[in-house]
Structure formats: structure tokens, C-alpha cells
Structure 1
Amino acid sequence: MNNDQTRYFDSTPAYQFNLKDWAKIADSLDPTTLDQLWTSQALRRLKNSEREAERAAYNRLSRVKQPERLEIFSIVVADRKLKASLRPLVTEDKINIALLQSKDLANEVRKGKQAKRSLKSPATAETRPRVSPPSYTEEQKIHVRYPGSPTPVLSTQIPDALSAYNNDSDSNEFFQKSPPPPISPKETHVGTQPNPALSIADHFALLNQRTHWTNILPRFQEYRQEQNWTLDLSPDGIMDLTLGSRFAATLNDHDLLTILEDQPISTEEFKELTELDELLGEDCSFEVISEQIFNTPLNTPVRRFLYGVVHAYSRYFPKKTAIPALEEKQGMFAILCPFIQGALDVYHIESFMSEIAITASGERKNADKDYGERMEKSRRADMIAVDSEDNQIFLSECSSIYEKDKRKFAEDRWKLGRALKDSWDSTVRKVVQSYHPHQDLATFGIQFFSHRLVFYKMDFRGEYRLWQVDSCDIPLQMNTGFEKKFRASCRKSLSFAHMVAEEIRVRGALPFLSMKEKIILGRAAQRIKPTTDSPPFKKRTE
């Protein structure tokens, strides 16, 4: 490199470099030289960068082996017009796409494009062993679209690696309660070394999660390729099934009815709800309910829950006829906490309030870091609750009680959906250290916007599914629909807490694993793809 090239290299941010830059600044078109330049300069700068996105790019690119890098570099040098489709700072899927394209590009080079462009190609380019992608059946192929691509590109799932365990007697007993992972179309012959990779579907099958869900999953894959909305959850592999979601709007009536058959229900009768109805009675206006509850012995959890809610309103009513415009945190403590935290207390679920670190978020951000590196800070939630094993099973995002900005609602739901997926992944990794996960493993969340309280549930059926379980309007005015809204808010908050308690109860009854099963499931859990490294959304400025 000459002085001008060195100055260009040192003054350009690492995240702006692409393969075209290496071809420009290198004195030689030898791919080995380009690879050495990338390894010694760019990877080091990405690793030591203070930007999270650059460190994430380093984690992805450092896994690409040198022969594969040399293969890509040789193609880039031979045909610079196609370098835009092989940019290195991309997701793992896009790196796989680049590797798959390398064989086709090499064929074009051999046909004469190298000579037409008068570019020097390395003498060893033709003799170097090439990594040819194996052939796959149509069922194994998935479509992936990367930025700048006019048409979807075929990517492939990885063959099953643990098929050897399926033939073991101990493993057969372990898989009796849940179906074994699907056998790869390519049977492993006797004496043949099995592929060490494991397909995504097999990860979840080993973890006792269902990987098929009628014909909705292919439709979601198509939607995921076509969508371009900033706050859509589909890039993170999350199927948004909430009220008014863009994905639900693309479904026909038959598919929508199929989805609704699996909709979680939180309104089933249970003893705490029956007791609550008896305490509310036929007339639960503020005057009547306050007089009744303040004169009732607080000898049951439901009575203490109702007392806390009524006491919170007594700070404003009847002196005022409406809750004043409280700041976000103040409104959360004064109005929302009695409903949600009080309902969780009925089932002795430990909960915490106000900017609590989301453990799973920190685990994802720092998963590939050495302990000597600076750790990223976790995202924070307005409220969290934990199960008996200290896993964060419940998260929330809140706004002020008279919030009008609908963009705030969309941003909070986007953040909450990603956080719930992180928590689901983290819970699975911790559960398999001792127990066998159940099929309906779920995490829960709420979103409070203006006066509306929305309840969510995250589970997995071939894709992560974000459900809107229920919703209600928190009463903010004493003389305008207070009785109806108060009754609905108390009932639905208690029903949602009961759903969370049932999930904790099921987790507490999970069977223990043997050491061999812990190793198998532990590796499967570690190979779950984390939430994507898509950059945080940027707020538009007028």
C-alpha cells in the first residue's frame, strides 16, 4: 500500500468498507494479499470498535474460514461489478448466500468474463479446490432476500447432525414423550461420518417444540421477504399476530380462522376470578366499591389486590373527577402498578418496577465476547416478573396515561416483541440445564399506552408467535364509564396473572434430564439463532 492508500484506509470507518474498497487500495489483485489485509486490519478494527454493530459484524465474519474468504475474494477481483452483492458486513444468512453464489460466479469467470474485463486473475484460482454447495430437496430450501437483490435467493437448511442419537437406546427412551427430530432426506450410511451441523428445525424438535403449523409458516416466509416496514418484527423471525398487525392483514379468511383456533384464552373461570366477581358485586361504582372494600377484612390475596387498586384511585377520587396528566413513571406507579403488580402478588409472583435490566438482552449482546472485552449494557423494561427459577417470564413497556403519539406505541411494541424473544431463548437455555422443556413454553408481556392495557404472549410453532391475549381500558374518569372499565380491568389483569402463574406451575413440574440429555439439549439450545443484529430504528426528524 502506498501513502495515499494507507491514509484512505485509516480515515474510513470500518463499517463503510466493502470488498470493492479492498480491490481499489491493494497494490496486487492477488486474493491472498486481500485476505491478509482484511484479516490484519479490518477484523482487528471491527473487534476493537465501540460500535455494537461493528463488533457484531466481527463475530459473524470471524467464523468464515480462510478458504471460503479466498474463494470470495478471487471472484470479486475477477468481476468487480458483482462486488455489491458480496459485501462482508452482512448477516449470517447473507454470508451463506455469498458462498453459494461463488460457484456460479467462478463458472462465469472461466467462460471468458475475466479476459473481457482485462483483469489479472491469480494463477492458482483455477487449481484451488472449490467448496461446492450440496444439492438439497425442495422441502429443505428457504428463500432469503438481501438488500439490493431484485429476486429472492435460495438458501438451504443444514442437514441433521444428531441422527446418530436417534438410533441409541437411551435416546429413544428420552424422545418417547415428544417426536424425534425429522430425519434428514440424506440417510447416514454405515461407516459414513455424519455432518456436524444441525438444522434449525432439529434444534427446536430436540427441545420439544413443534416445528410445523399448517400452511401459515410458508405464508409468513413470503411476507418476511416482501416487507420493508421499519418497525416490523418479521426480520427477527417473529410472527406478529396482534390486533391490526400487517402480517394478519395479508391472510385470507381461511388462514385467519386457522390462526384463531390456536389463539390463547385467558378468560376461563378459576377460583380467584370467582372471588373477585363476588367482591365487585353488581354495582362497582367508585363510591360503592370504596365503601365496601375499605370495610372488608383483608384476609385473602384477592381482597388485598382489590384494596390496592381502590386505594390508588382514592388518592384522586372523589376530590377530582379525572386522573391528572401524570408523568410516565408517576402514572405507572400510581395507576398501572396496583392492577398488574397487585394481580401478580395474588399468585406470589415476584415482580419489579421501573427500568429493570432485561437479562436476556445482555446475554445476547455479549454472547460472543471475551471476558476481557467491554460488555454491552442490557435493554431495560418498565416492569419485569420472574419464575421460580429466576427466569424473567414477564416484561412490560409503558407510556404516559394520556400519550397521543401513535409512533410511541409502535416503537414500544417492536421493542417488547424483540425482548420477549430474547427472554424465550434465554429461558430455554437455562431450563435445559436441568429439565426437559414442555411444548407450550411461553413468555409474557404487557404494553400500556394512553389508557389502554394490552396483554401479550410469546411462544413457538415453527416460528416465534407474538399473540395479543387480551386488552382493556384503565378508567381515568370517575363519572365516565368507570364501573364498566374498572370491572374489566380487574378481571383481565387477574386472568393474565393466572395465565403467567399456570406457565410457572407447568415449568415447576418438568422432568429432570440425565447428563447425556443435558449435553444434547444444551447444544441444541445454544444453536438457536439470536434476535437479528438489525440496527435500532431511527426516529424521523421534521
Structure 2
Amino acid sequence: MNNSQIRYFDTTSANLFNLKDWAKIADSLDPAALERLWTSQALRRLKNSEREADRAAYNRLSRIKQPERLEIFSIVVADRKLKASLRPLVTEDKINVARQQSADLAKEFKKGKQSNPSQKTPASTATTPSNTQEQEHTAHVRYPGSPTPILSTQIPDALSAFNNESEGIDFFQGSSPPPPSSNSSTVTDDNHQSDSRLSIANHFALLNQRTQWSSILPNFHEYRQEQNWTLDLSPDGIMDLTLGSRFIATLDDRDLEAILEDQPALTEEFKELAELDELLGDNCSFETISERVFNTPLNTPVKRFLYGIVHAYSRYFPRKTAIPALEEKQGMFAILCPYIQGALDVYHIESFMSEIAITASGERKNAHKDYGERMEKSRRADMIAVDSEDNQIFLSECSSIYEKDKRKFVEDKWKLGRAMKDSWDSTVRKVVQSYHPHQDLATFGIQFFSHRLVFYKMDYRGEYRFWQVDSCDIPLQMNTTSGFEKKLRASCRSVLCFAHMVADEIRVRGTLPFLSMKEKIILGRAAQRIKPTTESPPFKKRVD
């Protein structure tokens, strides 16, 4: 301790001193210094304190051997010093587990049966009766500047060891931690089956993904058991929250409000969109917008984006009044590429077109195969885009521009939903090789059918959530009755806003904290336990 810390320590009376103050002043993580301070000061202060909680903490801690006290104290110091970096990584599920562990630890302290931590197997508990799985209990958190990784679930244990009532400790800053669940299961060396069940359960919580979502999850589980539609996504654990979803039709108004509260919204205030609105102006008829764009220097990404769209139409307009019935691939390159790929290029997102292999699909199909076996081919997407780590963050399914067969739309949506889940799983497995995933990890997709673009997003909240973010109509006719100006403006804005959403996800991934080697092993093990998309078999097309 420095001079000011020693002076503060010596001038603070025992009745005013608590563990929070102790953690504030003892900021050294040197083992020898901690041991000296702990043995000479901390226990004496707790014993002489007028607070009943401090004296109870002394009774518990005095029975613990000095090296174990030192380990607990080190964890508390690291937490008090760096709790701001911890708070975003401690989820409600992990807190529940830690609270139950704290209760068990306190009981053992009172009985005087505290054993060596290396020989003790922690217990785990479920958070709520609706969550039938048990919580994972080995989540690591890397604190910036900390010499070693610290188990996030150890920290509430340490706090409970100091002060079971936690009266003077401001750890979570905000709402108090939820009470421990009454349903707990203790893992013993003799119960290998229970140990296996607990260690596998709720790996999503360990991967920093939230596992609770109002009362919608039980409704989805019930719907999943009762539905028998061939092209439903629920057998793969995908909650279809898109327009016209059969699952949404089964919900009452209160559950629908809960869905609408979490509905992803496109950002409409960013500089690229403002520049686009200025370029479009009040009049964006084909003749006016062509003259304006072709006479403008292409010195910004947004100008090049709009130029590509107008140039694509100029191949057909004004010589023709409507885009002809192009074949699917031709229509993709002629009409869709300037919109979708052009918007992604604004944010320097690398994209590829025309029957691109979905990496995650091949990984899922060949996950359990030996390299000597014949590998199955990956599914293919009409368009993909990758993030800065080469993960496929965006997928697309397209039809011809005048497609009328509604079965094609449903089949493409089903394929796209499953492929986005595969890509989400694959991304998590790759992210945990270096980084700690963020809570709102997402993948994206676009479906083009007839003349409509539909924008999708997939994330996880107890189940995979398949959202429809927005939609727009691509203008295919130039005459005024078809609303060319209105559709052009809406399409350009919607595609650019969606590309901005994808860019935001890539930006967040670029700021994720690094993991230690131990943390990579633990989180990698949890990521390997994500259930693959194999429950529903490939559908068989009906023959007319």
C-alpha cells in the first residue's frame, strides 16, 4: 500500500470499515503483499467490527486456511478494481448459478468442512421452473490487466464468504441479484451421469447468449410439439417471427407485444443515408435521376452505389418500359447485384454472387465424418457476404424477377432460415477460438421473390429467433402508374439501411475481448455442443 492508503486504513474506525473499503485500498495483486496485509489486518478488523455481518464473516473465514483466504481475497480485489469490465459479461443465468454455489459454500464454512478447491466439484442449478436445463458453471471472464483468468462464478462465492448478507458490498450496481432457485442438483464423483447432464446443459449461457425470453419460449415449445407442417422451421429450434408466420398466429396480444418490443429496427440516421436522400432529391424519375447521377463525380461510396443502380436500369430504360422476363441468374446480376452488392460495398463488406458454397452447411453435414470418408457437398446460396474474420454473415436466396409459384417462396425461406442457423453456429465456433462472443450475435439474410426483397436477421434468446427486419419492392416498370419513383427511393433506402445493420454487427465483432487459452478451451467445448440443424429431413418436392 502507498502512504495515502495506509493513512486511510489507520484512520478509519472499525465500526465504519467494511470489506468494500478494504478492497478499494488494497489494490496490489502481489501475493506476498496480499498475504501480509491479509494476515495482519483484515481478520482483526472484521473481528473488532461492530457490524454483525463482518463478525460473521470473520467466523467463517477464520476456519479457512491462509492460502485459500488469499485466493478469495485476490478475486474480490480484482472485482472491485475492474468490475466495469465484468458487468457486461455476467448474465442473469450465471448469477443464479453463483448464488446457489454461494449458499452451499456458506453452509460448508459453518460446518468447518471446507475442502481444497481443487478437490471440490461445484454445483449447478436451473434458473426458473420453465427452464428445464441446468446452468453451466465454468464461465471464464478475462479482466483487462488481470494476470490470470478469473471464474465469473467464483466472485459471488467470494463475496458470500466475506459477508453472507452482502450489506456493504456494491457488486452488481443496480437491481439486486435474483434469488437462488429451489431446484438444485449437486454433482458428486459417484454420479457420473448427473455430471454429464449438467456439464452439457445450457452451453448457450456459457457462450454469453441469453436463455430466457418472457413467456414466449414455453408457447414455442408447445407449438413445436404440435405442428406437422413440412416446411416449418420449428423442428430445428428456429422460432419464425416473420410476417405471416404460423407461430405468431397462435400467440395472444400480450405475447405479441413482447415480440414487438424486441423487433429489430433499421437505423435511419447515419451519414450515408443522408447523402443518399440528397442525391435522390425530390424528383427521382428515371430521366431526372439519370441526368443527376451521370453528371456527378463518383467520389463517394454512396454515389457509386446509386450510379450502379441507375446504370443497370439504363440497359432497358427508356428503350423499354419494363424489365423483360429475365432468367434467375441473369436477373440477379442485372438487377439485384447493383442493389444488394452495391449497398454492401458502401461499407467495404466483401460479397460474392451465384451459387456460393455455404461453409457452415458443409461443416454440419461432415462434422462426424472421418477424413477418409466421402464428404457431402455444402448447400449453396445465391449470394453471401463475409465479416472481417471471413465468417459468412449474410446469405441470400433469389428467384426470377416475375416468379409466381408461391411454393418457391416458402421453400427458399425454409432453406434460408436453416442456412442462417448453420452460419450462426459456425460463427460462434470460430469466434470462441479468439474472442468472447457478444450477447446479440446475429446473422443476416435476404430473400428475393418476384419483385420483392425481404430482409432477415437471426439471433438467439433461448431459441433461435428468425426476424423479418424490413421489405421493399424493386421497381421493374418505368411508367408512372407503377410508382417507379416511390419504389426506387424506398428500395435504395431499405437496402442501404440493411447494409448498415450488417456493418454494425461486423463492427461489434471487431471489438470483442480476447480469451485466454483456458477460456478458449472451455468456450470451444461449449460451442461444440450446439445442436446441429438435422432434425427435419430435406423436403420432397411434389410432382405436378
TM-score of the aligned structures, taking structure 1 as reference length: 0.68
**Cα distance in 2, alignment partners of residues 213 and 183 from structure 1:** 18
Over 3 Å counting, the alpha-carbon distance change for 1:220 and 1:487 in structure 2 is same
Unpaired segments of 5 or more residues in structure 2? 1-124, 142-147, 157-170
| AA in 1 matched with 2:486 | K
**Cα distance in 1, alignment partners of residues 211 and 277 from structure 2:** 40
| Residue equivalent to 1:370 | 370
**Cα distance in 2, alignment partners of residues 183 and 349 from structure 1:** 45
Which of 274-283 and 192-201 deviates more? 192-201
**Cα distance in 2, alignment partners of residues 327 and 435 from structure 1:** 43
| Residue equivalent to 2:476 | 476
Over 3 Å counting, the alpha-carbon distance change for 1:485 and 1:504 in structure 2 is same
The answer to whether the 8 A contact 1:267-1:492 is kept is: no
Alignment of 1:277-296 (within 5 A): 277-296=277-296
TM-superposed deviation, 1:188: 2.6
**Cα distance in 2, alignment partners of residues 406 and 297 from structure 1:** 43
| Residue equivalent to 1:90 | none
| AA in 1 matched with 2:291 | E
Q: CA deviation digits over 1:309-329, x for unaligned, max 9? A: 000000000000000000000
TM-superposed deviation, 1:219: 0.4
Q: Are residues 1:539 and 2:541 paired? A: yes
**Cα distance in 1, alignment partners of residues 207 and 459 from structure 2:** 13
**Cα distance in 2, alignment partners of residues 373 and 363 from structure 1:** 14
Q: CA deviation digits over 1:115-165, x for unaligned, max 9? A: xxxxxxxxxxxxxxxxxxxxx9996688xxxxxxxxxxxxx74x4564598
Over 3 Å counting, the alpha-carbon distance change for 1:235 and 1:500 in structure 2 is same
TM-superposed deviation, 1:300: 0.3
The answer to whether the 8 A contact 2:126-2:135 is kept is: no
TM-superposed deviation, 1:357: 0.1
Which secondary structure state, in structure 2, belongs to the residue aligned with residue 397 of structure 1?
A: strand
The answer to whether the 8 A contact 2:402-2:451 is kept is: yes
| Residue equivalent to 2:183 | 185
| Residue equivalent to 2:150 | 170
| Residue equivalent to 2:527 | 525
| Residue equivalent to 2:117 | none
Which secondary structure state, in structure 1, belongs to the residue aligned with residue 262 of structure 2?
A: coil
Which secondary structure state, in structure 2, belongs to the residue aligned with residue 196 of structure 1?
A: helix
| Residue equivalent to 1:263 | 263
Alignment of 1:227-306 (within 5 A): 227-306=227-306
Over 3 Å counting, the alpha-carbon distance change for 1:276 and 1:201 in structure 2 is farther
| Residue equivalent to 1:67 | none
The answer to whether the 8 A contact 2:235-2:535 is kept is: no
| AA in 1 matched with 2:502 | V
The answer to whether the 8 A contact 1:160-1:197 is kept is: no
**Cα distance in 2, alignment partners of residues 163 and 192 from structure 1:** 20
| Residue equivalent to 2:420 | 420
**Cα distance in 1, alignment partners of residues 128 and 540 from structure 2:** 37
| Residue equivalent to 1:80 | none
Over 3 Å counting, the alpha-carbon distance change for 1:216 and 1:141 in structure 2 is closer
| AA in 2 matched with 1:171 | L
**Cα distance in 2, alignment partners of residues 184 and 421 from structure 1:** 34
Which secondary structure state, in structure 1, belongs to the residue aligned with residue 354 of structure 2?
A: strand
Over 3 Å counting, the alpha-carbon distance change for 1:199 and 1:444 in structure 2 is farther
| AA in 2 matched with 1:256 | L
| AA in 2 matched with 1:384 | I
Q: CA deviation digits over 1:303-346, x for unaligned, max 9? A: 00000000000000000000000000000000000000000000
Over 3 Å counting, the alpha-carbon distance change for 1:184 and 1:354 in structure 2 is farther
| Residue equivalent to 2:216 | 216
| AA in 1 matched with 2:485 | E
The answer to whether the 8 A contact 1:161-1:197 is kept is: no
**Cα distance in 2, alignment partners of residues 443 and 233 from structure 1:** 16
**Cα distance in 2, alignment partners of residues 471 and 221 from structure 1:** 28
TM-superposed deviation, 1:389: 0.2
TM-superposed deviation, 1:533: 3.7
The answer to whether the 8 A contact 1:209-1:438 is kept is: yes
| Residue equivalent to 1:500 | 502
| Residue equivalent to 2:105 | none
Unpaired segments of 5 or more residues in structure 1? 1-135, 143-155
Which secondary structure state, in structure 2, belongs to the residue aligned with residue 427 of structure 1?
A: helix
| Residue equivalent to 1:313 | 313
Over 3 Å counting, the alpha-carbon distance change for 1:196 and 1:284 in structure 2 is same
| Residue equivalent to 1:58 | none
| Residue equivalent to 2:493 | 491
**Cα distance in 2, alignment partners of residues 349 and 236 from structure 1:** 29
**Cα distance in 1, alignment partners of residues 127 and 300 from structure 2:** 59
| AA in 2 matched with 1:481 | G
The count of aligned residue pairs is 391
The answer to whether the 8 A contact 1:201-1:211 is kept is: no
TM-score of the aligned structures, taking structure 2 as reference length: 0.68
Which secondary structure state, in structure 1, belongs to the residue aligned with residue 491 of structure 2?
A: helix
TM-superposed deviation, 1:539: 1.2
Q: Are residues 1:459 and 2:439 paired? A: no
**Cα distance in 2, alignment partners of residues 207 and 452 from structure 1:** 36
The answer to whether the 8 A contact 1:416-1:445 is kept is: yes
Seq. identity, %: 80
